[in-house]
Amino acid sequence: GENVEQHPSTLSVQEGDSAVIKCTYSDSASNYFPWYKQELGKGPQLIIDIRSNVGEKKDQRIAVTLNKTAKHFSLHITETQPEDSAVYFCAASNRGSTLGRLYFGRGTQLTVWP
């Protein structure tokens, strides 16, 4: 099955700085890569996703890049704010005609200091 590795496990940045979280995957058949933000005591919230036919996607301060050849994808958060503090999970899935299961990374605890 798929194996998703996520780094770093913890990340501390100063407000206004950028944060980058990196993930690698093992199954070349994976074609869908979402990122989730989980606040304490809540369920994961989808913040951005990317499909394998796209190399980069942006949504305001958040961007995701995908390198299919190297099998890695990254989350970039610019101009970080204290409210960005949370656990971020990357995931990979093979989505075809049916809904493929998600394989999650171990998560990154992001702390943004004011």
Per the structure block, which two tokens stand in for 102?
A: 């998600």
Report the site for other proteins in 25-64 (rule: CB under 8 A): 34, 36, 41-46, 49
Options 2, 21, 104, 112; binder of other proteins; rule CB under 8 A: 104
Nearest approach, Cβ of residue 97 and other proteins (Å): 8
CA-to-CA dists, residue 26 to 5, 59, 108, angstroms: 9, 26, 19
CA-to-CA dists, residue 57 to 52, 61, 105, angstroms: 11, 11, 20
| Alpha-carbon gap, residue 78 to 62, rounded angstroms | 7
Cβ distance to other proteins smaller for residue 5 or 17: 5
Options 5, 8, 106, 113; binder of other proteins; rule CB under 8 A: 106
- Chain residues binding other proteins by CB under 8 A are 34, 36, 41-46, 49, 89, 95-97, 99, 101-102, 104-107, 109
